[in-house]
Each structure stands twice: as structure tokens, then as C-alpha cells.
């Protein structure tokens, strides 16, 4: 039996959206036994209860990131993920990066798709206690059709490329869904939309028929496995909702029909706009062209009306960071989707925190078990200096995070040893284009091409 712990004198955010209150949390055997308000009658504690003093701190559920690719290792491009990576090494590197998530207060995350589907192995290693990291729920390879995903011709016509797998017939769909269930996925990941380079002006197009999506969802559901989809565009989002998807990523450019389909079924959405928000906020500093910054800004502002309406109608919005790419490195931005929700979708800080905690539990398939501070819940708890309900960005500085517990077990937050380069791991760049004009002008000119990411 593990020890009992009392976290006292903190300001408690329980994750339900309720106002914070001064109080304490009693943990027994890895679960939350009791929440005490400071003004309630003080009950005597058994001897041997360890106390943690959280004076001046927020005590809240650990963050749940609904969209984090831990096998990608902060890649700068899909080409790097597809061609530079090795199976065992990428799993080992992911185990290192998992510790960065812990230090950022992340106690659970959904890994939608991974190279070599090796995040299933990391998940099992963490569960078995042979690696340190947050709770994980996993997809395996993202399913696409022969039209491709978001990397155009970089994706082979058939078979596996990086984190993608092509399924080009109904038999293929059924076979692959069954295989993924066999190897232990928590979710089936589908790229419902992709980019056809020659038709890029149309935006992402739906690469499936309605029949195929229905077959895919039915096959997965019959085997007790939910389905999540990358959807950009109204028709794809509507079709995903109508054919039975259980979680939708992005859901950009919804029209009335798509919005209604999502609302009717209360399908959770993880907009995962942190990457775009980072480009809007800091793109100039990393040399992103102004056209691209405008494009990303529009992607956020175009979603304001629909996401606000979806939220008001009771659709759960989940916080996903899209970490795994160099624009959203591990450990730094898992909190930022909450800021996006507050800044653009008109949520209160406490509503946004609910999205990253209580609602996030859906991504882990652990609803009513994690994501809230309430009796009977697993003790996935973080302590953060200051009042997070007044300033969410406090979560961005690991120095503010004083304690991270998963099932009542305190996680190691000591600084990670610095990492050295791995030969052949990154896509080598010789620098940006050296035109005569650049040479004579002498100014740095490093436009960033991110249109093929995620």
C-alpha cells in the first residue's frame, strides 16, 4: 500500500470549470480520497500522512494533451520523419522527450499516429514502469487512401510511409483496422483530408468516400475501438461526423451542415491551433514569410464563429498542441491551446482549463477517472506557483511547476541531461537560398516552408 499524502494550503482548481477555492487534497492509494475546503470543519488526519505545502500555488489536475506526436522528435519537415528515422532509436528518443512532457505538467496525452507505430511500445513501457512518462493513449499508422495525406508526393503509392499507411480498397480498410486492433491501438487514426499538390488552391480535399468511412468506423466500433480523424474542410467534417467518428481534429472551415452534424452527435473536437498561433505570435522571429503568417492567422480567425458555436452547443473542445514539429517543441507549448481558446473563442480561463483536463480525459478514454480533482479520481495532480486561473501562461515555465503526480506517484522533475546531435537524424540543410541579391544585401533570408506539416 502506498503512503497517504495531503496537499494543503493551495488554491484548488478542480478541472470542472468551477471557481477555485482554498483547500487541500488528500490522496490515498493513488486516488483522491477527499477534497477539503479550508473553511470546512477540520477532521483529524491519521499519523503518517505526508504533507505537501502548496502555499501560494495552484493545485489542479495534470494537463492532458489531446494531440501530441511523440515519435516525431520536433521534426522540421515530413521528409525528415519519413526518411531519417529509425525504429528503436526513435522510441528511445521519445522516451527522453516524454520526460519533457512530465516537466511541463502533462500527465496524459493522445499520440494520434507514430512512425513504425512504435509509440504503442512506449505506452506499454510506461505502463509497465520501465520508462518514465505521462499516461498515453495511442493510434498506430494514420490511414489514408491512395490520394494521400498532407505530404503530397512524399507519400508512397502504397504501403507505409512514415506515420501513414495507404488502404485502397474496402478489404484493405477492414484488414488494417483489424490488424491495428490486434497490435493494441486505443484509437484508429484517419486522415480524412489530404493535400493534392496540383490542386493545392482548393485546400485539403476529402480522400475517402462516405461508404469507406462508414465501413471503417463500423469495423472499428464492432471491435470496441473509437475512431479519430484529421479533417480540414466542411464536407469532410460533416461526413466524419455522420459516419461515426468519435473525435475530430482541426474541423476547420465548417459550414452550417458540418457544424450541425457535429453538434447533433456532440463529437469532441481538438482544433489543435497552437502551431498556427505560434506562427502568428512568433513567425517573424523565425523568418516566416508574411503571407504564411497571414494564412495561419486566417486559419484561426476563420474558426472563431464555428468553434464558439460548437462550444456553446455543448460540443467538448479538447486541447491539443500538435507537438512533434519544430514549431511546437515538446515541453514548451502544451498549455498554449488554452490561451488560444481564451483569446479567440471567448472562453474564460477556467473553461479553457476544463478543456485541457476534464474534457481531455476523453482523449485518454479515461472519462470520469482522470482530469478532475474529485473523490475517486486517479491522483493525477500538478502544483503550480501562482494563480493559473488568472494567468494560464504560468504553465509555460517549468520553473513554476513544483510537483507532478500520476496516480499519486511523484514524478522526477530534475533537469534533463542535455542532448547531443544524433548522426543522420535531422534533415541536413545547407542554408537558405543564396541568390546574388542575398549575398550582396547580406541580410538573412530564411523563409520557412511549413505548408506540408501535420
Residue closer to Zn ion by CB (options 336, 454) is 454
In whole angstroms, give the CA distance from residue 39 to residue 58: 17
**What does the alpha-carbon distance between residue 266 and residue 316 come to, in Å, rounded to a whole number?**
7
Q: Which stretch binds Zn ion (CB under 5 A): 58-66, 80-88, 127-135, 446-454?
A: 446-454
Which of residues 28 and 191 has its CB atom nearest to Zn ion in the complex?
191
| 189 lies in the binding site for Zn ion (CB under 5 A) | no
Binders of Zn ion: how many residues, by CB under 5 A? 1
> Looking at beta carbons, which residue is closest to Zn ion?
454
d(CA 218, CA 101): 34
Cell of 340: 488560444
The alpha carbon of 52 is separated from its chain's Cα centroid by a whole number of angstroms, namely 30
Residue 113 vs 389, nearer CB to Zn ion: 113
Q: Which residues pair with 6 in a beta bridge?
A: 26, 51
Give the shortest CB-67-to-Zn ion separation in angstroms.
6
Closest CA to 236 of 322, 313, 144: 144
Give the C-alpha separation, 379 to 377, whole Å: 6
Q: Report in angstroms how near the CB of residue 119 gets to Zn ion at its nearest.
A: 13
Taking the complex as a whole, how short is the minimal distance between the CB of residue 69 and Zn ion, in angstroms? 6
169 phi and psi angles, rounded to 5 deg: -150, 165
Query: Residue 99 or 189: which CB sits closer to Zn ion?
Result: 189
> Smaller CB distance to Zn ion: residue 100 or 454?
454
**Should residue 135 be labelled a site residue for Zn ion when binding is judged by CB under 5 A?**
no
Least Å distance between CB 303 and Zn ion?
16
Measure the CA–CA gap between 426 and 434, rounded to whole angstroms: 21
- Closest approach, Cβ 305 to Zn ion, in A, equals 23
Min dist CB 229 to Zn ion, Å, is 11
Rounded to an integer, what distance in angstroms lies between the CA atom of residue 188 and that of residue 40?
Answer: 46
| Nearer CB in complex with Zn ion: 35/275 | 275
Is the Cβ of residue 67 or residue 311 nearer to Zn ion in the bound state? 67
Task: Return the number of the residue (232 or 454) whose C-beta is nearest Zn ion.
Answer: 454
- Shortest Å, Cβ 112 to Zn ion: 6
Nearer to Zn ion, 75 or 347 (CB): 75
Task: Tell me if 164 sits within 8 A of 142, measured CB to CB.
Answer: yes
- C-beta closer to Zn ion: residue 15 or 112: 112
Q: For 152, phi and psi rounded to 5 degrees?
A: 50, -130
Cell 513501457 appears where? Answer: 125
All residues at 6 or more sequence positions from 148 whose CB lies less than 8 Å from its CB, including other chains: 155, 194, 195, 196, 207
* CB-side neighbour CA atoms (13 Å) of 295: 11
Nearest approach, Cβ of residue 319 and Zn ion (Å): 13
C-alpha 194/C-alpha 221 separation (Å) is 24
C-alpha to C-alpha distances, 428 to 76, 77, 272, 286, 422, nearest whole angstrom:
10, 11, 28, 18, 12
Strands 401-406 and 381-385: what pairing? antiparallel
Q: In angstroms, give the least distance from the CB of 14 to Zn ion.
A: 29
454 binds Zn ion (CB under 5 A): yes
Could you tell me which of 386, 389, 384 has the C-alpha nearest to residue 353?
389
Closest CA to 266 of 324, 313, 234, 320: 313
Query: CB of residue 72 vs Zn ion: minimum separation in angstroms?
Result: 9
Chain residues binding Zn ion by CB under 5 A are 454
Amino acid at each position: 500500500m502506498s503512503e497517504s499524502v495531503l496537499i494543503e494550503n493551495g488554491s484548488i482548481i478542480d478541472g470542472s470549470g468551477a471557481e477555485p477555492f482554498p483547500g487541500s487534497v488528500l490522496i490515498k492509494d493513488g486516488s483522491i480520497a477527499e477534497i477539503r475546503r479550508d473553511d470546512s470543519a477540520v477532521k483529524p488526519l491519521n499519523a503518517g500522512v505526508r504533507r505537501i505545502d502548496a502555499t501560494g500555488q495552484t493545485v489542479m489536475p495534470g494537463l492532458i494533451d489531446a494531440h501530441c506526436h511523440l515519435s516525431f522528435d520536433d521534426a522540421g519537415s515530413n521528409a525528415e520523419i519519413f526518411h531519417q528515422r529509425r525504429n528503436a532509436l526513435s522510441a528511445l528518443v521519445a522516451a527522453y522527450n516524454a520526460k519533457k512532457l512530465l516537466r511541463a505538467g502533462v500527465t496524459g496525452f493522445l499520440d494520434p499516429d507514430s512512425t513504425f507505430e512504435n509509440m504503442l511500445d512506449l505506452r506499454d513501457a510506461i505502463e509497465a514502469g520501465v520508462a518514465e512518462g505521462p499516461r498515453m493513449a495511442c493510434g498506430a499508422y494514420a490511414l489514408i487512401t491512395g490520394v494521400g495525406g498532407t505530404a503530397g508526393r512524399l507519400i508512397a503509392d502504397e504501403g507505409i510511409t512514415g506515420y501513414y499507411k495507404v488502404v485502397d480498397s474496402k478489404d484493405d480498410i477492414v484488414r488494417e483496422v483489424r490488424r491495428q486492433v490486434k497490435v493494441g491501438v486505443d484509437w484508429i487514426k484517419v486522415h480524412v483530408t489530404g493535400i493534392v499538390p496540383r490542386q493545392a488552391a482548393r485546400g485539403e480535399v476529402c480522400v475517402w468516400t462516405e461508404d469507406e468511412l462508414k465501413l471503417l468506423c463500423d469495423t472499428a466500433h464492432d471491435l470496441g475501438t473509437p475512431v479519430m480523424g484529421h479533417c480540414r474542410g466542411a464536407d469532410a467534417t460533416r461526413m466524419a461526423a455522420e459516419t461515426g467518428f468519435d473525435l475530430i481534429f482541426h474541423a476547420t472551415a465548417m459550414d452550417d451542415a458540418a457544424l450541425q452534424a457535429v453538434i447533433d452527435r456532440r463529437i469532441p473536437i481538438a482544433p489543435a491551433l497552437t502551431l498556427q498561433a505560434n506562427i502568428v505570435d512568433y513567425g517573424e522571429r523565425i523568418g516566416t514569410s508574411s503571407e504564411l503568417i497571414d494564412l495561419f492567422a486566417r486559419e484561426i480567425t476563420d474558426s472563431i464563429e464555428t468553434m464558439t458555436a460548437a462550444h456553446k452547443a455543448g460540443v467538448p473542445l479538447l486541447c491539443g498542441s500538435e507537438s512533434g514539429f519544430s514549431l511546437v517543441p515538446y515541453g514548451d507549448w502544451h498549455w498554449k491551446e488554452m490561451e488560444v481558446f481564451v483569446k479567440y473563442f471567448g472562453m474564460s480561463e477556467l473553461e479553457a482549463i476544463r478543456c485541457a483536463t476534464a474534457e481531455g480525459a476523453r482523449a485518454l478514454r479515461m472519462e470520469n477517472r482522470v482530469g478532475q480533482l474529485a473523490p475517486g479520481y486517479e491522483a493525477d495532480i500538478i502544483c503550480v506557483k501562482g494563480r493559473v486561473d488568472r494567468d494560464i501562461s504560468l504553465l509555460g515555465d517549468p520553473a513554476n511547476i513544483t510537483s507532478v503526480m500520476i496516480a499519486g506517484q511523484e514524478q522526477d522533475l530534475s533537469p534533463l541531461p542535455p542532448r547531443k546531435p544524433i548522426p543522420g537524424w535531422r534533415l541536413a540543410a545547407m542554408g537558405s537560398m543564396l541568390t546574388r541579391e542575398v549575398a550582396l544585401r547580406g541580410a538573412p533570408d530564411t523563409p520557412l516552408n511549413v505548408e506540408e506539416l501535420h
